Amino acid sequence: MQPKTTTLDDLVSLAKRRGFVFQTSSIYGGLANSYDYGPLGTELLRNIKNLWWQKFIHQRPDMVGLDSQILLHPKTWMASGHTTAFNDPLVEDLTTQKRYRADHLIEEWQEKNNQTTDTSPEDMSVKAMDEYIIQHKIVSPDGNPVSAVKVFNLLFETSIGVVTGEKSKIYLRGETAQGIFSNFANISNSTRMQLPFGVGQIGKSFRNEVTTGQFVFRTLEFEQAEIEYFFDPETTDWQTLMESWKTAMWEFVTKDLHIAAKNLRWRKHTDTERSHYSMDTYDLDYKFPFGWKELWGIAYRTDYDLKQHQEYSGETLQATTTDNTRRFTPHVIEPAVGINRLFMMVLAEHYWEDTERSRTVLCLPRQLSPHSVAVFPLARNKPELIAAAKIIYQELLGKIPTTWDDRSNIGKRYLYQDEIGTPFCITIDYQTLEDNTVTIRNRDTTEQTRIGSNQILEYLAKKLDLAEEAVLG
């Protein structure tokens, strides 16, 4: 029998049922394109971010981190070009006044009508999209005619202080990257870093996105993990550098997040599609339940941003060669990913309906599971079992992410832990009281092994591939 294909509904349902993701402000009817991360989702997000930070900042001698503000000087966004060029094409349903992305409507229409050989909307100008919609009589998802295509700026505007009007206008950052560019001189002057070197940052970004039904894939508020890698174009070949970053991205996704290569592909941006600041861009796409979509982008931003900030600020944002003979504006390669997209990919990839054993399993890699191990007393009304189980639970708690469960029956507890991705469950039963052994159950195989309770840490350290000294003390 063919394994069942995971649908978006499967993921949304599991995420809500088990407290990974909730709709934001659900008690007020929700807020469009906004989600909260529940107790388990928070752990999963944190684990993804920690892994990214470990891999790209801590394990590399040529990288440092930064935590810049969400609110930056408004000139930042004029210099970067976002106030003028950071736009999406929108149409309005003429009956309901609901707004839609024109490129998304065209893409869906092309897929539905098998017109996938037509020009992709990503390669169409606003005028071309307009003409295409008219020519093919494309309507809104509610079946109504739509307005002409208009461009809509994605930056979120807000204001500061007591002054109103243009003077107080400020933006929530549309990308974390600009905080890195505007700190280039601070970082160069305060650290021992020499080119080529990179600066990584994880933080919230905001975009006034108009989209429907893509869960956490595209939201108004999201978390980015961006790297700006600065180099001297005379001594470093940008294409070679870009290739090495593409390899690092690919390895992170396939080796650290355990994503199958068949669900990944590289896609080069066309000239029309590429952002205003980029000379070359690739997307690493993942096969999400609603099709191939961008997971992670990598762009060659040249010296565009630093030059723009020099012009708008009057400050020098340059570097000098080690022999002091040449001053130049560094160029940049930028790998930029959304943590929430990594999160959604991880859920989609590791969701497994085990029809043979009638259970749903999240086969998360061990570094990502919210809990590494769950501890159960076989029965909840036996104080001696609970006492013995609590001793083991307490011992594990400080060393490995551990959870406790004594609700309902043992079968239901296993099913629950399988659904939230806990790789091991330890049960303390009547035999434990006699010979101090416990059972350890493996999430993926459901196999149970009996071991001495004094061997638990060693067993888990091996199976979870943890540094033994950290666990065993």
Q: Which stretch binds ligand GAP (CB under 6 A): 54-62, 195-203, 221-229, 387-395?
A: 221-229
- Output 294 or 405, the one with its CB closest to ligand GAP: 294
Strand-pair partners of 146: 93
CA–CA separation, 405 vs 425, rounded Å?
A: 10
Interaction between residue 306 and ligand GAP (CB under 6 A) = no
- Output 301 or 371, the one with its CB closest to ligand GAP: 301
Interaction between residue 207 and ligand GAP (CB under 6 A) = yes
Shortest reach from residue 299's CB to ligand GAP, in Å = 7
Nearest residue to ligand GAP on Cβ basis: 338
Interaction between residue 337 and ligand GAP (CB under 6 A) = yes
Assign 297 to helix, strand or coil: strand
Binds ligand GAP (CB under 6 A): choice among 118, 122, 209, 285: 209
- Output 337 or 461, the one with its CB closest to ligand GAP: 337
Assign 199 to helix, strand or coil: strand
Interaction between residue 269 and ligand GAP (CB under 6 A) = no
Interaction between residue 338 and ligand GAP (CB under 6 A) = yes
Type of residue at 2: Q
Beta strand extents in 95-234 (DSSP E only): 99-101, 150-153, 156-159, 169-172, 197-206, 221-231
Interaction between residue 305 and ligand GAP (CB under 6 A) = no
Interaction between residue 219 and ligand GAP (CB under 6 A) = yes
Interaction between residue 405 and ligand GAP (CB under 6 A) = no
Shortest reach from residue 52's CB to ligand GAP, in Å = 12
Interaction between residue 378 and ligand GAP (CB under 6 A) = no
Sheet with 424-428, edge to edge strand ranges: 402-404, 373-377, 424-428, 437-442, 448-452
Number of residues lying near ligand GAP (CB under 6 A): 19
Strand-pair partners of 268: 282
CA distances for 312 relative to 305, 307, 316, 471, angstroms:
11, 9, 11, 53
Interaction between residue 385 and ligand GAP (CB under 6 A) = no
Handedness of CA 141, 37, 60, 287 (dihedral sign): negative
Which of these, 456, 61, 23, lies nearest to 220 by C-alpha position?
23
Interaction between residue 222 and ligand GAP (CB under 6 A) = yes
Name the pairing type of β-strands 21-23 and 35-37.
antiparallel
- Output 222 or 376, the one with its CB closest to ligand GAP: 222
Q: Which stretch binds ligand GAP (CB under 6 A): 88-96, 295-303, 422-430, 448-456?
A: 295-303
Interaction between residue 218 and ligand GAP (CB under 6 A) = yes
Shortest reach from residue 219's CB to ligand GAP, in Å = 5
Give 173's Cβ-side CA count (13 Å radius).
23
Type of residue at 370: P
Binds ligand GAP (CB under 6 A): choice among 336, 400, 410, 438: 336
Q: Which stretch binds ligand GAP (CB under 6 A): 246-254, 318-326, 333-341, 387-395?
A: 333-341
Polymer length of the chain: 473
Type of residue at 1: M
Tokens standing for 422?
Answer: 């806990």
Tokens standing for 254?
Answer: 């396939």
Tokens standing for 392?
Answer: 């083991």
CA–CA separation, 85 vs 152, rounded Å?
A: 10
Binds ligand GAP (CB under 6 A): choice among 92, 93, 175, 305: 175
Q: Which stretch binds ligand GAP (CB under 6 A): 112-120, 193-201, 217-225, 419-427?
A: 217-225
Assign 283 to helix, strand or coil: strand
Interaction between residue 402 and ligand GAP (CB under 6 A) = no
What residues line the site for ligand GAP (CB under 6 A)?
175, 177, 207, 209, 218-219, 222, 224, 226, 294-297, 334, 336-338, 340-341
